[in-house]
Chains A and B, each alone.
Chain A
Amino acid sequence: MITLNVNGKSHELDVSPDMPLLWALRDMLHLTGTKFGCGMALCGACTVDLDGQPIRSCVTPVVEVSNKKITTIEAIGQTSSGAKVQKAWLDLEVIQCGYCQSGQIMSASALLAANPHPSDTDIDKAMAGNICRCGTYHRIRAAIKQAAQSNVKGA
């Protein structure tokens, strides 16, 4: 039995310890906001938050995260950086097909939580692992800056 603590809830799962967290979330807990894109830590679609760190759930065995605090896109809006990022995403109409955006928002929220005023280089570093096939990069950068701006105002 593996215990997963996801979005503040505890779940007992009867799965093999090497099962990637991605499939536990999607196929066992039906939290489908976390997406499958490559399965090889190449695209970032599966990004979730583990104790404040963005991780690629497609290559993270459940046994490694058992009993740790996992936050997914479904609950990231309850954190202050997550809420700011979501708002900026909507204000600037970042989204096209939307498939990559859960991962983008998770990476951006983790960035802002750790670094409230990221430079362009910081943004590049934190976000380069997240592919957007629709090419929304331009707006992602602007939205992160806008969300950071709301930090300044203390909004």
Chain B
Amino acid sequence: MSMGLERWLNSTEAGAESTAEGGVPRRTFLKLSAAAGGGLLLSFILPRIIWNSEATGATTAEVFAPNAFIRIGRDSRVTLIMPYVEMGQGTDTSIPMLIAEELEVDLRQVTLEAAPPDDRQYANPIFQFQVTGASASVRAAWEPLRRAGATARTMLVSAAAQTWNVDMTSCRAEKGEVVHVPSGRRLTYGSLVETVATLPMPDHVALKDPKDFTLIGTSAKRLDAPDKVNGKAQFGIDVKVPGMKIATVAACPVFGGKLANVDDSKAKAIKGVHQVVRLDNAVAVIADHMWAAEQGLAALDIQWDEGPNATVSSADIVQQLESASLGPGVIAYEDGDVAKAMAGAVKKVEAVYQMPFLAYATMEPMNCTVHVRKDGCEVWVGSQVLARAQATAAEVTGLPLDKVQVHNQSLGGGFGRRLEVDVIAQAVQIAKQVNGPVKVVWTREEDIQHDKYRPYYYDRIAAGLDEQGMPIAWSHRISGSSVIARWFPPAFKNGLDPDAVGGEAEEFPYKLPNRLVEYVRQEPPGIPTGFWRGVGPTHNVFVVESFIDELAAVTKKDPLAYRRDLLSKSPRAKAVLELAAEKAGWGQPLPEGQGRGLSVQFVFGSYVAQVAEVEVAKSGEVRVTRVVCAVDCGMVVNPDTVRAQMEGGIMFGLTAALFNEITLKDGRVEQSNFDDYRMLRINEAPAVEVYLVKSAEAPGGIGEPGTTALAPALTNAIFAATGKRIRKLPVNRVELHSA
């Protein structure tokens, strides 16, 4: 999910960039054929990660297995079979832009078709199975989609040239047509598709020079927006199937607990309640509508068998982490001799940083609609992992995969929560006991208390400084649960979670000698942890950027100057840092009680720097007035989407840093709704300015870096305003009160 993990995955990749038989680069491998129903079908392969050596032959010419498709109809319409899911990040618009640019068609001429769940056909090229996440969609599709578009364009031009019997170089593609420039004759793509099907594939196609882009780099309008301002857009929770019942559910409030007994006599007496379904660890009330289901649930008398985690509390968990963090960890990164350098340092600085469990709280509560029949199962759900959703339903029903149909829906927020299939498994279990389709909707309370949580991290960090105050030794030990070990076990090797160290292994932006990064896996009893927006880097960027600020303070240097001196090997990081600082007016005086803080990072393939401006009241109340964000995410496909993702990411990061922590008492999550799991509101939202750096590098991710950069910029600003260093999130306003 983070760069660290992705790099790690790439290192096991066997030859995706190498050439197949015939010398055609494998990733350009395309096939043309007639489309069912007329027109042309261009099938191609998006490169994919290959996990084990047996699978290395999978993409050779003999077993050509395309996983992406472009259809050009006789009516010139272009259809892209799309293996990604829209969840608010604008992918539905950015991905077609890549095709439209090279194919020389209007963006409106491109239609998307959702890919059915099938790992082998629609696998995401960065991860082996179908998944939207990791800020990866545009990054993964960048090269192959443009190449496919360019191939189709080249062949359409050549078909037109052949029709007119003129030289190809005198023809040009524009707006869905081929033009013979000297004579002005035109042919639509639709009229050429039959001819194209008879042509051989070109060996080489030229991609457009970025300076000739007319679409990539422009702020094309989001295609999904119109239906989202008038109530027409359908999310998973809006699904309606004939004969459908509505259910709501209560799972055992203690993780790992079971249902012991339930008296449902009162619930069944409520008008509109049909049935009470018992699962191993939950009870569901099936009703005509959500109101009856909710009332029914409240009327149940439930006894839980709370199991081994009934006494777990946050204090225990933190204590376990603290002790675990004393022991050695597995080495995630090692450069030089840290012990020796530390011993020779003029000064040693040490700190402990902690970050809490966090819930996703997607705006659309968890839900899933299922119809189980004897011979099949249908599922309607908004998921980031369609194929897993399908496999889960197959497993729970015992049906073969091809008898399970999953209809993906728009996601009312993903942020990583919809990479999980727990809700789907539960809904299918419920539906197995219900006659006809049933929509299972979680209440907000259920959502907050049965989430997957961002791991609690407990980090020990130390640096040794030379006479000038510059770090000559650095050691960082990260302790926390492993999401990878649960979610994707093959990537958890030798005790190392490559995501947990993301942002602090290879992608570390600073140049300093003698650096050691260790990881200690410590699982909190029973509590499931997940990939929360920004994943591993959300915590590592906070720790690293706070600690760098501490070193600058110890050395009595300006935090900007101090960082700049350490960024000699990373001109792109230095450039965003300087841009953010300049735009924010770094160094200009601020009134008492106010301060500026900055952060810089290289994660998800993108460079981001932020400057936050805060006001800390005597009461300890923190108000963020302004955030300036500079981004170098390589070639920008849609600048407005990048800006929107940064703005949203900043609010997401700020909400967590200021307000959020999930705590446990008696094995239960103590928070339940937006009153005790507070969300930032418009009156608390800072002004945000986003500046994009022009770059010709390959695109980086944009969904997560806005979030990861925020917390340290905020806490460094609080330090500048008050002299108080925040080493534990969320920001404790009571502590600031005394400041």
Give residues in A with beta carbon < 8 Å to B. 15-16, 19-20, 23, 26-28, 30-40, 42-43, 45, 72-74, 77, 86, 89-90, 93, 95-102, 105, 123-125, 127-141
Given known A-B contacts A16-B271, A138-B685, A90 and B229 have beta carbons under 8 A apart: yes
Which stretch, B178-186, B312-320, B356-364, B561-569, touches the partner chain A? B356-364
Q: Which 8 pairs show the lowest CB-CB distances between chains A and B?
A: A33-B231, A135-B651, A99-B412, A97-B88, A98-B228, A27-B289, A73-B231, A32-B238
Cα distance, A37 to B228, chains bound together (Å): 16
A4 to chain B, nearest CB (A): 14
B640 contacts across to A, CB distance below 8 A:
93
Chain A residues near B413: list those with CB within 8 A.
97, 99, 133-134
Partner of B291, one of A27, A34, A72, A127: A27
Q: Please tell me if the beta carbons of B290 and A123 are within 8 angstroms of each other in the complex.
A: no
Inter-subunit contact B647/A136 (CB<8 Å): yes
Closest to B222 in A: A93
If A31-B231, A93-B225, A135-B650 touch, does A42 touch B88 (CB 8 Å cutoff)?
no
A130 to chain B, nearest CB (A): 7
Indicate if the CB atoms of A72 and B679 lie closer than 8 Å.
no
Q: Is the CB of B87 within 8 A of A77?
A: no
CA distance A140 to B651 in the complex (A): 13
Q: Are B231 and A99 in contact, CB atoms less than 8 angstroms apart?
A: no
| Known contacts A35-B364, A105-B229, A137-B682: A98-B410 contact under CB 8 Å | yes
Q: DSSP majority for the B interface? A: loop
Question: B291 to A86, Cβ gap below 8 A?
Answer: no
Beta-carbon contact of A98 and B647 below 8 Å: no
Known pairs A95-B224, A137-B680. 12 more at Cβ < 8 A?
Answer: A36-B365, A39-B294, A45-B363, A90-B226, A97-B364, A99-B235, A99-B412, A130-B682, A131-B679, A133-B361, A137-B651, A141-B685
Asked whether any CB of chain A lies closer than 8 Å to the CB of B620, the reply is no
Q: B residues engaging A (CB < 8 A)?
A: 87-90, 219, 221-222, 224-226, 228-235, 237-238, 240, 246, 271, 288-291, 294, 361-365, 410-415, 441, 443-444, 640, 644, 647-652, 655, 673-675, 679-683, 685, 687-688
List, in ascending order, chain A residues with CB within 8 A of B240's CB. Answer: 30, 32
- List residues of chain A with CB within 8 A of the CB of B231: 31-34, 72-74, 102
Contacting pair A128 B237 (CB below 8 A): no
What residues of B have a CB within 8 angstroms of the CB of A45 in the complex? Answer: 363
With beta carbons under 8 angstroms apart, the residue of A23, A40, A97, A125 that contacts B363 is A97
Q: What are the residues of chain B within 8 A of A89 when measuring CB–CB? A: 225, 229
Find the B residue at minimum CB distance from A127: B682
Knowing A23-B291, A32-B240, A135-B651 are in contact, say whether A98-B361 is a contact too (CB < 8 A).
no
| Shortest distance between the CB of B282 and any CB in chain A (Å) | 19
Q: List 25 A-B contacts (CB under 8 A).
A: A23-B290, A35-B364, A36-B365, A38-B674, A39-B294, A40-B674, A42-B673, A72-B231, A77-B229, A89-B225, A95-B229, A97-B363, A97-B410, A97-B411, A98-B224, A99-B363, A101-B228, A101-B229, A131-B681, A135-B648, A135-B651, A135-B655, A135-B685, A137-B681, A141-B685
| A134 engages B673 (CB within 8 Å) | no
Residue A28 contacts which of B289, B441, B679 (CB distance < 8 angstroms)? B289
Interfacial chain B residues near A39, Cβ < 8 Å: 294, 443-444, 673
Q: Which residue of A lies closest to B675 (CB)?
A: A42
Most buried by B among A89, A97, A128: A97
Contacts of A34 in B (CB 8 A): 231
CA distance A44 to B643 in the complex (A): 25
A-B contact count (CB 8 A): 180
> Of A19, A93, A98, A138, which contacts B688 at CB under 8 A?
A138
Which of B221, B290, B652, B674 is within 8 Å of A42, CB to CB? B674
CB distance from B686 to the nearest CB of A (A): 8
Closest to A77 in B: B230
User: Considering residues A32, A74, A99, A100, which has the most beta carbons from chain B within 10 angstroms of its beta carbon?
Assistant: A99
Instruction: Judge whether B412 and A98 touch: CB under 8 Å.
Output: yes
- Complex contact B682–A141 (CB within 8 A): yes
Residues of B within 8 A of A133 (CB): 361-363, 413, 415, 652, 679
- With contacts A27-B288, A72-B231, A97-B364 taken as known, whether A137 is within 8 angstroms of B222 at the C-beta atoms is no
Alpha-carbon separation in the docked complex, A124 to B626 (Å): 16
Q: Which residues of B are found within 8 Å of A123, using beta-carbon distances?
A: 682
Cβ-neighbour of A93 out of B221, B411, B685 (below 8 A): B221
Residues of chain B within 8 A (CB-CB) of A26 are 238, 290
CA distance A45 to B681 in the complex (A): 13
Distance, CA A8 to CA B221, complexed state (A) = 32
Considering the chains assembled together, what is the distance between the CA atoms of A90 and B640 in angstroms? 13
Q: Which of A15, A43, A72, A93 contacts B644 (CB 8 A)?
A: A93
Given A128-B682, A136-B648: A100 and B363 interface contact (C-beta under 8 Å): yes
- Shortest distance from the beta carbon of B138 to any chain A beta carbon, whole Å: 16
- Establish whether residues B683 and A128, one from each chain, have CB atoms under 8 Å apart when the complex forms: yes
A93 to B414, CA, bound (A): 19
Of the candidates B219, B290, B411, B649, which one forms a contact with A27 in the assembled complex, judged by CB atoms under 8 Å apart? B290
Name the residue on B nearest A23 (C-beta): B291
In chain A, what residue has the closest Cβ to B365?
A36
List, in ascending order, chain A residues with CB within 8 A of B88's CB: 96-98, 134
Q: Which residues of B contact A141 (CB under 8 A)?
A: 682, 685
Is B681 within 8 A of A128, CB to CB? yes
Contact at A36–B229, with CB atoms within 8 Å? Answer: no
**Chain A, residue nearest B360 (CB):** A133
Cβ of B237: which chain A residues have Cβ within 8 Å of it?
Answer: 32, 35-36
